[in-house]
Homo-oligomer: A and B are copies of this chain.
């Protein structure tokens, strides 16, 4: 029993939601705002995602999977902790202006109940789980990872100003640590 064919592209809706958060802040993320940005109706958004919590969950999930694919493509067969961190750093380094969706998504999640970030928590924790923090070499890798995250967050949030040369130089330093 197939009914009316789908005319709303979920991906486009998620794009619109990300754009709203990135441009006007997570506070202004609403069904109505997303609908207007995606050029559909508020009810259409609700029909596609049900609740706002589910919309946010979808945003997180899509971005996490996307970033993971990027990381895995960069590293080869070597799936060690240090290798994954290296891929993570490279992916972060190359994230262009338009791809600030990551921080946008994080902000959105954190805006809601703090425990909403549980999904991303596993994602982040896994990055460090393979390291033995009692060993200096592994701590160095963790330090490089944390520096990359700090640089990324502070820059995407507009809290520090790094031009491209500084950005690349810093990530080159981080990558030389994990290699």
Interface residues of A (CB under 8 A from B): 23-27, 107, 110-115, 117, 120-121, 124-125, 127-128, 133-134, 136, 139-140, 142-151, 153-154, 157-161, 165-166, 169-170, 173-174
Known: A107-B110, A146-B147, A150-B150. A139 touches B169 (CB 8 A): yes
Inter-chain contact B27/A160, CB cutoff 8 Å: no
Q: Is B117 a contact of A174 with CB atoms below 8 Å?
A: no
Nearest Cβ on chain B to A70's Cβ, whole angstroms: 19
How far, in Å, is A124 (CB) from chain B's closest CB? 4
Which residues of B lie under 8 Å from residue A133 when comparing CB positions? 165-166, 169-170
Say whether A170 contacts B146, CB under 8 Å: yes
